[in-house]
Amino acid sequence: MSELLSKIAECIEFGKINKAAPYPPNMKGQDGADELTRQALDEGVSAQRILTEGLMVGMEKVGIKFRENKVFVPQVLMSAKAMSTAMIHLKPFFLSGEVKEKGTFIIGTVEGDLHDIGKNLVSMMVEGNGWKVVDLGTDVKADQFVAAMKEHQNAFVGLSALLTTTMVNMEKITKAIKEAVPDAKVAVGGAPVTDDFRKRIGADAYAPDPQGLVEYLNSQVA
Ligand code: B1M
């Protein structure tokens, strides 16, 4: 059985969506994340095991390779697509409560900023690691973050910014969130953001890449 889970992990790692998918070329004609996830469920493997011992294992490998510049954005997007295709089979088990999510993570690109490619990658990696993600989109204002935090109790929140002119908005957003929800944990990231900046604005965590954020979030619930 662990062989089947390893194969699922491999499909995620290399972005093999389904049998018909031509990518990656060396896996052409083979079953992908879609067929293998269905097969595992049909053989009685629990959705929880498929998630934690198959899909998440593959996603973690992608995250590490991306951090080390061994793969790039297009490969990560293929992995995310393979993951979301497999997740369609697991969704009913999530909804029934049989599969436990690690927690909720709210993310948005801050007010004034329309860049969303990095934020979307972060969302996909966090979701692929077993978290429920609430994506507020781009140009998200303090009151929108606060409203989402009130709606999703105990959620973690992440702010993304790509411009030096918008990263300053992280400070007022962080303050507003902490005023409204004093226990809130705010993580920040994006190309111009640094850990020094994070300290100055009173946020709780800085991650330079999606894998760093996943590691931070996982450490909070371990
Ligand atoms: Co813009 N842009 N852009 N742009 N753009 C940059 C960011 C810029 C560096 C280009 C340059 O001048 N060299 C520059 C910013 C300069 C600065 O402030 N330091 C810039 C500018 C100036 C602008 C405009 C002002 C241009 C203009 O109109 N005059 C304008 C602003 C619009 C606005 O937001 N209000 C603008 C517009 C745009 C487009 C719309 C054309 C487009 C965005 C499309 C989109 O996102 N849907 C765009 C793009 C594509 C870029 C570049 C080329 C690429 C950004 C990107 O997607 N990178 C960028 C130059 C560059 O980076 N080479 C540039 C890939 C992405 C995977 O990386 O987003 O860094 P990144 O995310 C990473 C990490 O940062 C991290 O994980 C991701 C994966 O590793 N991360 C987090 C991100 N968020 C995180 C959150 C976390 C943790 C990690 O925790 C919460």
Q: In what order do the strands lie in the sheet with 156-160?
A: 132-135, 104-109, 156-160, 186-189, 205-206
Specify the pTM: 0.91
Residue 118, C-beta contacts closer than 8 angstroms, at least 6 positions apart: 160, 162, 189, 190, 191
Asked if 195 and 206 count as a contact pair (C-beta separation under 8 A), the reply is yes
Structure tokens at 163: 């411009």
For residue 61, which phi and psi values (nearest 5 degrees)? Answer: -65, -40
pLDDT for 100 equals 86
- Provide the phi-psi class of 177: left if phi over 0, else alpha when psi is between -120 and 50, else beta: alpha
Amino acid making up residue 136: L
Ligand 1 mean position to 32 CA, how many Å?
A: 32
Residue nearest to atom 78 of ligand 1 (CA): 118
Report CA 14 to chain centroid distance, whole Å: 17
Query: Which residue puts its alpha carbon closest to atom 68 of ligand 1?
Result: 118
Q: What is the pLDDT of residue 99?
A: 83
Say how many C-beta atoms besides its own lie within 10 A of residue 97's C-beta.
Answer: 8
pLDDT digits (tens, 9 = 90+) for 161-182: 999 999 999 999 999 999 999 9
Cβ neighbours, 10 Å, residue 34: 20
| Nearest one of 53, 56, 63 to 213, comparing CA atoms | 63
Q: What is the pLDDT of residues 85-141, one digit of tens each?
A: 999 999 888 778 788 899 999 999 999 999 999 999 999 889 988 999 999 999 999
The Cα 124–Cα 11 span in angstroms is 16
207 Cβ inside 6 Å of ligand 1: yes
Residue 33 one-letter amino acid: A
164 Cβ inside 6 Å of ligand 1 = yes
Instruction: Return the SS3 of 132.
Output: strand
> In this predicted model, what pLDDT tens digit does every residue of 17-76 receive, in sequence order?
999 999 999 999 999 999 999 999 999 999 989 998 999 899 999 999 999 999 999 999
Cα 116 to averaged position of ligand 1 atoms, centre (Å): 8
Among all chains, which residue has been given the structure tokens 């760093």? 212
Atom 49 (ligand 1) nearest CA: 115
Question: Mean pLDDT, to the nearest integer, of 179-203?
Answer: 98
Closest CA to 167 of 97, 115, 220, 89: 115
Whole-number Å distance, alpha carbon 166 to ligand 1 midpoint, is 11
Kindly give the distance from the C-alpha atom of residue 115 to the centroid of ligand 1, in angstroms, as a whole number: 5
Query: Measured in angstroms, how far is the CA atom of residue 112 from the centroid of ligand 1?
Result: 12
139 lines ligand 1 (CB under 6 A): no
Q: Which atom of ligand 1 is nearest to the CA of 187?
A: 91
Q: Compute the distance from residue 167 Cα to the ligand 1 centre, in Å.
A: 12
Band of residue 1 on the pLDDT scale cut at 50, 70, 90: low
